[in-house]
Amino acid sequence: MSPPQKMSLAEIKGLCRRVGLAGVEVNLLEMGRGFPLVLVHGVNASVYTWRGNLAALAEGFRVLALDLPGCGFSDKPEDFPYTIEGCAEFLGRALEELGVESAFFLGHSLGGAVCQSLALGRPGLARGLVLISSTSLFGPRVEHPPRFAENLALFTYHDKSHLTRELLAVYKQTGASAQARQAAAELLADSARQRIQPTALNLPPGLVIWGRQDQIFPARQAGEVGGLFQRARVELLEGCGHAPHEELPAPVNSLVLEFLETLLAEDEDRL
């Protein structure tokens, strides 16, 4: 399977627009037509993380990806609640303003916990969840090493050839400011907060994708995250670390599209 052509930062910027959503000016990218698919990045990341996935996913879906407040090229207000629940509430309100009543969600790392929180807080909004190397909203806490957020790229990739000049420049451009560092620190601190898991979790069907060489969340956590769902499929990918969608975009795109198309077909069968 040949790897898809990854978009450059310039190409991604050309597809983005600045828009006020839920009281915050954010960087928003929309591509494709069809049922909405919302992409949610992790700490200190941006829509750039999806550069190898956007074109493939937009062939069958209306893809919406934004930089969360405090991240990427979005504003970084000091008074924003930089918590998983705060980001989930913001995203829910933003989607309301964009006219999205139901969608699939794909979340990476802490973005996966945001998707979990959103799905639980707004029943019916999420038709299905794809979680890639995801923080568990109720799972074991992770103790990050010192200066983790500032050196995130070094921990993320199994194959260090992915640490290109452009990628490192994007991390520096979007994450070096005091506001970005503070937002990342608050989000990481919140991800370490223990939450009490409800007796029953009403999550939609899920697909969990994990890299076997993940240095941030060990691969054994894939099953723990999958266990949050009543119905979930877990896929472990060899030869990648914490960002399978960046290191192995082609197989990840295939898994995501197959899973989402199956859910759409099930909806049609019920009509």
Torsion of CA 161, 50, 149, 173, to 10 degrees: 90
Q: What is the per-residue pLDDT across 74-131, written as a single tens digit (0 to 9) for each?
A: 999 999 999 999 999 999 999 999 999 999 999 999 999 999 999 999 999 999 999 9
Q: What is the per-residue pLDDT across 220-230, written as a single tens digit (0 to 9) for each?
A: 999 999 999 98
Give the other-Cβ count within 10 Å of 186's Cβ. 17
How far out from the chain centre does Cα 225 lie?
14
- Quick one: tokens of 191? 């991800």
Residue 148 has pLDDT above 80, yes or no: no
What's the alpha-carbon Rg for the chain, to the nearest Å? 17
* Mean pLDDT value across residues 43-55: 96
Q: CATH number of 9-270: 3.40.50.150, 3.40.50.1820, 3.40.190.10, 3.40.1370.10?
A: 3.40.50.1820
Does residue 129 contact residue 115 with C-beta atoms inside 8 Å?
yes
pTM of this prediction? Answer: 0.94
